[in-house]
Amino acid sequence: MASTNDLARLYLDVDTAGRHHLRRLVGSWAPLADLSFSDLLLWGAVKDDSNELIVIGQIRPTTAQTLYLDDQVGQRHTMDDQRLVAKVLATGEPHQDEVDRHRRSVPVRVRIQAIPVRHDGQLIAVLTGDTSVKEESQTSELELAYLGVFRRLAVMLAEGMFPFPFEDAVTEESPRVGDGALILDGNGRVVYSSPNAVSALHRLGYHGRINDHLLSDIGFDPDVVESSYRLKVPVVDELERGERATILSRIVPLIEQQNVTGALVLLRDVSDVRRRDRMLVSMDTTMREIHHRVKNNLQTVSSLLRIQGRRLESPEAKLAIDESVRRIASIAVVHEMLANSGGDEVQFRDVLQPIVTMAATTLVSADRPVEFRLVGDGPTLISSKASSLAVVVSELLQNAVEHGYPTGGGGGTVTVELFTSSTELQVRVHDDGVGVEPGFDASASPGLGLTIISSLVSGELGGELKIRPATPPQRGTLAQVTVQLGALDND
């Protein structure tokens, strides 16, 4: 679905600044819907067509039942069908009317309020609020208070003072009217407190009288309230009582003739949200510590193996020890990255970089000068899959150097390439050495390295391994591991 900004750009004769004003309105109009108990629609006149209107925004109230079960954004209507909107566009003044409509085939009497939306003195759109008219019912104190604030905000909207040009973006966490609302007078005293606002303040430990008191009397920072009044912008703050309770507040100043005459204070109890945030931070710290200890333990094992290797006289045993140390180091790289970044996912290229560097340090000698290159970007993988792939690449690098460049036969270049599509990851290790024979079967090889590679690729990763001579004019061997990304998402 197209955004408000997209629809305004395509259909309305409104400049960039005006479109940004409309986008800010749609981003901050939830209180208007809740205070007026209305479905809000944002209308604009279609450019190059003097008789057509289009809905570019819609929001439903959380304080009342919606009248619109279907999405109205993008709907186009004639001026005759929407005479109240057309009247506001023609006169520039707000208007109100009542009409008969149907909701689920049931007749409903609907009150429509149409309010001009101005920016820099120009009428750029019309906001309508559609409310079901109650028959023979007395308006409650809460409804009277909310409707009174809505009327004040509607005047600000018509004069171009709402939405505010500078304020923090309203998020899903931001409090709404139904979460709790206080209404202040021009001096910052509470003149109305909703039941949910009273409950929220009780969570903070305040059980005294709320009305007729300054916010500072009930635990608010006086500088926060003063800043909102002085700067004439909404201010967001949090009130905490240790780890027991946290209330998120948003102070919205009400302005008349450039003077702040009061404010709407929205309150939301976010105690559970902040408690979960603290738990996540604690869990993240714990996971980092675990990965750090695993890495240290692996390095300890590597050190013990090196000590053992120095005591051995058999070249075969020494080689086996060295290969074991290298395999353990490949796994330790993953845990080191997780200890630094937190979480359970790592960027695979970042894992391969130190492994390629380690290969260049441990596998290269003066009579076998081999260079290593890493090309391409890889996906983000969970730690277990990244560890398995890291060992696979480490073994492939070992095989490429050992079998591609015999001692004394000169060096060459080993290239590790990463190819990621929407469905699979390919890791290719190409050396320009002597090459394998055509028809080479990795599964039939008796070597421990290829046995480990085949087991990890087919068993742990559910992938496929191919080792074949490089395609001319390239020389050497190409080892390719192909793994479906779906298999890499599962532990």
Cα–Cα dist 126/144, whole Å: 24
Alpha-carbon gap, residue 113 to 47, rounded angstroms = 24
Name the domain count of the chain.
4
Residue with tokens 């013990």: 304
The continuous run of DSSP H or E covering 252 comes out as: strand 245-256
289 and 225 part of one domain: no
Whether residue 468 sits in one domain with residue 405:
yes
Q: In b/e form, how buried is each residue of 259-289, taking b as 16+ CB within 10 angstroms?
A: ebebbbbbbbbbbeebeeeeeeeeeeeebbe
Q: Are residues 212 and 293 in the same domain?
A: no
Q: Are residues 214 and 279 in the same domain?
A: no
Are the beta carbons of 317 and 350 closer than 8 angstroms? no
Structure confidence at residue 291 (pLDDT): 62
Q: Is the peptide bond before 163 cis (omega within 30 degrees of 0)?
A: yes
Question: What pLDDT score was predicted for residue 120?
Answer: 92
Retrieve residue 43's tokens.
Answer: 């209308």
Strand order in the sheet with 122-132: 76-78, 52-59, 39-45, 122-132, 106-119, 95-103
CA-to-CA separations, 85 to 50, 60, 158, 164, 264, in angstroms, rounded? 13, 19, 14, 24, 28
* pLDDT given for residue 263 in this prediction: 95
Give me the CATH number covering residue 427: 3.30.565.10
Residue 351 contacts by C-beta under 8 Å, 6 or more apart in sequence? 333, 334, 337, 386, 389, 390
Please give the pLDDT value at position 95: 94
Same domain, 11 and 145: yes
Whole-angstrom distance, CA of residue 96 vs CA of residue 32? 16
Long-range contacts at 230-237 (CB < 8 A, ≥ 24 apart): 232/164, 232/260, 233/164, 233/166, 233/167, 234/164, 234/167, 234/168, 236/168, 236/174
Q: What is the pLDDT of residue 244?
A: 74
- The pLDDT tens digits along the chain (491 residues) read 578 888 999 999 999 999 999 999 998 999 999 999 999 999 999 998 778 999 999 999 999 989 888 899 999 999 999 999 999 999 999 999 988 877 767 788 889 999 999 999 999 999 999 998 876 567 789 999 999 999 999 999 999 999 998 755 566 678 899 999 999 999 999 999 999 999 988 888 888 889 999 988 888 888 888 999 999 999 988 888 766 788 888 999 999 989 999 999 999 888 777 677 666 666 666 666 666 677 777 778 878 887 887 878 888 787 778 777 777 776 777 667 666 666 678 888 888 888 888 888 777 777 778 888 999 888 888 877 888 888 888 888 888 888 888 777 677 888 999 998 888 899 999 998 888 878 777 766 667 778 888 888 888 888 888 888 888 888 888 989 998 887 666 65
Among candidate residues 269, 297, 321, the one where a domain is terminated: 269
What's the CA gap between 75 and 72, in Å, rounded? 6
CB-count exposure of residue 144 (10 Å: 0-12, 13-18, 19+):
exposed
Look at residue 134 in the predicted model and tell me its pLDDT.
Answer: 73
Q: Which residue, among 192, 215, 267, has the nearest Cα to 236 in the 3D structure?
A: 267
Residues 130 and 186 grouped into a single domain: no
Name the 3-class secondary structure at 381: strand
Q: Are residues 408 and 475 in the same domain?
A: yes
Please tell me whether residues 290 and 386 are part of one structural domain. Answer: no
Whole-number Å distance between alpha carbons of 345 and 129: 47
Kindly state whether residue 349 falls inside one of the protein's structural domains. Answer: no
* 348 within 8 A of 418, measured Cβ to Cβ: yes
- 371 shares its domain with 424: yes
For residue 278, tell me if it sits in a domain: yes
Contact (Cβ atoms closer than 8 angstroms) between residue 266 and residue 180: yes
Smallest CA-to-CA distance from 395 within 364, 429, 354 is with 429
Based on the domain organization, do 263 and 284 belong to the same domain?
Answer: no
Domain assignment present for residue 353? The answer is no
Query: Of 250, 269, 288, at which residue does a domain stop?
Result: 269
- Distance (Å, rounded) from C-alpha 112 to C-alpha 91? 17
Q: What is the DSSP string of 384-405?
A: HHHHHHHHHHHHHHHHHHHHHS
Distance CA 391, CA 452 (A): 9
Task: Please say which residue of 89, 123, 158 terminates a domain.
Answer: 158
**Both tokens of residue 485?**
């990304």
pLDDT at 318: 78
Residue 230 falls within a domain, yes or no?
yes
Residue 65 inside a domain? The answer is: yes
**Do the beta carbons of residue 469 and residue 435 sit within 8 Å?**
yes
Burial 394-412 (b: 16+ CB within 10 A, else e): bbbbbbbbbbbbeeeeebb
Whether residue 299 sits in one domain with residue 439:
no
Label residues 67-95 b or e (16+ Cβ within 10 Å = b): beeeeebeeebebeebebbbbbbeeeebb
- Check whether residue 373 and residue 416 sit in a common domain: yes
Domain annotation covers residue 358: no
pLDDT for 262 equals 95
Q: Is position 478 within any domain?
A: yes
Residue 253 contacts residue 228 (beta carbons within 8 Å)? yes
Q: How far is CA 359 from CA 14, 166, 298, 367, 372, in A?
A: 61, 54, 18, 16, 8
Give the residue among 333, 413, 338 at the shortest CA–CA distance from 373. 413
**Which domain, by its residues, includes 188?**
177-269
Decide if 165 is inside a domain: no
